[in-house]
Structure 1
Amino acid sequence: MSGLLTTPIQPAPSAQCPVDRPRLSQRAFGHIKRILPGLLLCGGVSGAAILLERLEAAALGGRWLEALVLAILVGTAVRTAWSPGSRWFAGITFSAKTLLEVAVFLLGASISAQTIMAAGPALIGGIAAAVVLAISAGYGIGRLLGLPHRMATLVACGNAICGNSAIAAVAPIIGADSEDVSASIAFTAVLGVLVVLGLPLLPALLHLSGQQYGVLAGLTVYAVPQVLAATAPVGAVAVHIGTLVKLVRVLMLGPVVLFLSLLTRRLRDETDEALPHVTAGDRPASGLPPLHKLVPWFIVGFLLLAALRSADLVPHASLGPIAVAANLLTVISMAALGLGTDLRVVARAGGRVTAAVTLSLLVLGAMSVALIRLLGIA
């Protein structure tokens, strides 16, 4: 027996699992602690917006400004009077990005196949054509006003597709200057708020139905959540059609980035002014961005949830709570959008950029109205 070799008893692998759990909990707690101040700030602004909406309804007998729009206004007012410090940034960014993505995903439960089929192939083709024409027109306007090739491309793609997301996706492909990217994104944020506030005035002026206005909003508003804010005052039909049209616009980002990547050889030879800080190195990127940047997860989730709704796999009892949750998250994200909007950026953007973005947006709006009339959308 003394000659037998004994092997030390090893702990079971599962015994090591609890060691990782505290680390995971610490990371989660650290993340919550980091975003909590900004998240509470956005929640406070949202609460003020909801309260103002109720006071407005009690005083005027109806709601002229929805909580979505009021959240933008209150947030912008706070941002103009006070610049949040670094401790607030993480929560504001989380609210403006992650929460709005979840809100758009949940919105898929309110869209059925009947709504999608109502758009028809003619409208989908018209949306694609409008995006291509808007990029061409925006680029041409920028060049006529003296903007460099890269800046004109950023302005054109941001206006025609999806604002900041398009600018961020296109910038490394064309080797855009970081200052141009910052100016484009900042100005897009300001103009996006103005569009959301002003667009609901057009149905009465242009005699647009809910479906027509949904198409107009989906073709002109920059971001998907902003479409919700711009269409909510007009009605559910405008919200559904506007969201659908906007999602088709967003899906155009992939083909546009692919096309621009094929032009990088020419862009490498451009002689724009010196680029001291380039977003993707000293030269335009030669490859494509990851697939998740071309087709965001929340768009895939939106379409999947819409498919489940169409197949009657989403319980009807859950549709109401899902809609309430989506609306609340959208209000919070709109508050974050307002808190991130500095109206003084317009004054610093420069006359050429201001004129290029504004004229490009007006051209896109005119093309959208023409498309509505051409397709005979009722």
Structure 2
Amino acid sequence: MPSSAPPPPVPQPPAGRAALVPGLIAAGTAVAAAYLISALVPAVPVLTAAVLLGLVAANLPGAAPKAAGTWKPGLALAARKFLRTGIVLLGLKISLVDIAGLGWAALGLVVALVLAAFAGTYGICRLFRLPGEEPVLIAAGFSICGVSAIGAVAAVRRTRTEDTVVPIALVTLCGTLAIAALPLAGSLLHLAPEVFGTWAGASVHDVGQVVATAQTAGSAALAAAVVVKLARVVLLAPMTAAAGLLARRAGKAGKAGGDGKAGGDGRTGKQPPLVPLFVLGFLALILVRTTGLLPAAALDAAAVLQELLFAAALFGLGAGVRVKALFASGIRAVAAALAAWAWVAGLGLAVAFGLGT
């Protein structure tokens, strides 16, 4: 009886730093392609295109062996290090002077919004029986600042990089849907520009998605949206610390599925810091931005670099996902994400009306 032909071998990466080169080249090419797609189809944000390109690379017959082989070291570096560096640069978008301008009552309302969004989203994800760390990561992403919050909470909880892909895909999907859905809903509800902008800032996940959503209603809406959104982003550090503290109390920090290997950065045995170093860098750059010492050109360049780093990181994360594995909890996860999106949007609208009165 003739034996079946063996599957083609997965190309193995070279050793040392040279191992990073093929994956980094692939990531750079994908980032350029993501910008091209976004330019041709403005409704598709760059970060969404980057995730989709990663998924294609992971599942297309010609590219999948490379994504799992020679590209893997460079893509892993992009998924972890580039994402964290992007989070640090996010601090340059936040001025504490602007946040303080909201007033104490408004800030208290934003804090209440984030806590209610986190708790509600976590409860919805548990109700849909999402596995592992997905409920807490999705809750962090939906309530604070999308991909940045997922990366920060995953780091402090030592979550494996591959376990962040579904939450990141979902937060990117829902944030992208908001770019189309919220302006339509705002028009139907006849919302004033300031109210609509506050709604966008209070309920859309990523900063870039907030800008894309709010600018459809003009400069007044955009100004309101950005300040409210950045007030949510400031809560990244305390929320990360709380997630790390809960992980320690649950006795899961430094473990990864019982194999003795830590998730994320691969260390074993040691407790992770309550606030990772890159989150401290994020806080430090908030202070730098607040001083007003950096010129506008430097801030603009940092914003571009941040998006480039995030796009490369999201391509690397997407390239680690096999569609069959994604479908293991994908249907439930999408349903949970849409329910959580409706919850957060409802909370955001209530806050918008509250701040508008």
Q: TM-score, normalised by structure 2?
A: 0.67
In the TM superposition, what are the counterparts of 1:248-263 in structure 2 within 5 Å? 248-258=235-245
Look up the match of 1:12.
Answer: none
Preserved contact between residue 78 and residue 339 of structure 1 (Cα < 8 Å): yes
The structure 1 residue matched to 2:345, chosen from 351, 357, 365, is 365
Look up the match of 2:156.
Answer: 169
CA 52–154 in structure 1, closer or farther in 2 if over 3 Å, else same: closer
CA 146–205 in structure 1, closer or farther in 2 if over 3 Å, else same: same
Aligned-pair identity in percent equals 24
Q: Structure 2 counterpart of 1:191, which letter?
A: L
State the secondary structure of the residue aligned to 1:252: helix
The structure 1 residue matched to 2:166, chosen from 160, 174, 187, is 187
State the secondary structure of the residue aligned to 1:296: helix
- Cα distance in 2, alignment partners of residues 34 and 211 from structure 1: 51
Preserved contact between residue 156 and residue 274 of structure 2 (Cα < 8 Å): no
Indicate yes or no: 2:29 matched with 1:44: yes
Indicate yes or no: 2:81 matched with 1:98: yes
Q: Structure 1 counterpart of 2:57, which letter?
A: V
CA 74–229 in structure 1, closer or farther in 2 if over 3 Å, else same: farther
Preserved contact between residue 219 and residue 246 of structure 1 (Cα < 8 Å): no
The structure 2 residue matched to 1:348, chosen from 328, 348, 351, is 328
Preserved contact between residue 190 and residue 346 of structure 1 (Cα < 8 Å): no
- Cα distance in 2, alignment partners of residues 68 and 149 from structure 1: 25
Q: Rg larger in 1 or in 2?
A: 1
Q: Structure 2 counterpart of 1:122, which letter?
A: A
In the TM superposition, what are the counterparts of 1:1-378 in structure 2 within 5 Å? 30-31=16-17, 33-55=18-40, 63-81=42-60, 82-83=63-64, 84-142=67-125, 144-145=127-128, 156=139, 159-160=142-143, 162-167=149-154, 169-170=156-157, 185-207=164-186, 209=193, 212-213=196-197, 216=200, 219-221=203-205, 226-229=206-209, 231-232=211-212, 234-235=214-215, 237=223, 238=225, 241-258=228-245, 264=250, 289-293=272-276, 296-309=279-292, 313-316=293-296, 318-340=298-320, 342-349=322-329, 355-376=335-356
Q: Structure 2 counterpart of 1:373, which letter?
A: F
Shift of 1:146: 5.7
CA 244–228 in structure 1, closer or farther in 2 if over 3 Å, else same: farther
Q: Structure 2 counterpart of 1:314, which letter?
A: L
Preserved contact between residue 139 and residue 155 of structure 1 (Cα < 8 Å): yes
Shift of 1:202: 2.8
Shift of 1:290: 0.8
Unmatched tracts of structure 2, length 5 or more: 1-14, 216-221, 264-269
Shift of 1:166: 2.5
Shift of 1:245: 2.0
Q: How many residue pairs align between the two structures?
A: 315
Q: TM-score, normalised by structure 1?
A: 0.64
Shift of 1:349: 1.1
Preserved contact between residue 94 and residue 230 of structure 2 (Cα < 8 Å): no
Unmatched tracts of structure 1, length 5 or more: 1-28, 57-62, 173-177, 268-274, 282-286
Q: Structure 1 counterpart of 2:342, which letter?
A: L
CA 123–361 in structure 1, closer or farther in 2 if over 3 Å, else same: same
- Cα distance in 1, alignment partners of residues 38 and 105 from structure 2: 38
Shift of 1:72: 3.4
Shift of 1:256: 4.6
- Cα distance in 2, alignment partners of residues 350 and 70 from structure 1: 19
Shift of 1:132: 2.8
Shift of 1:46: 1.4
Shift of 1:141: 3.6
State the secondary structure of the residue aligned to 1:49: helix
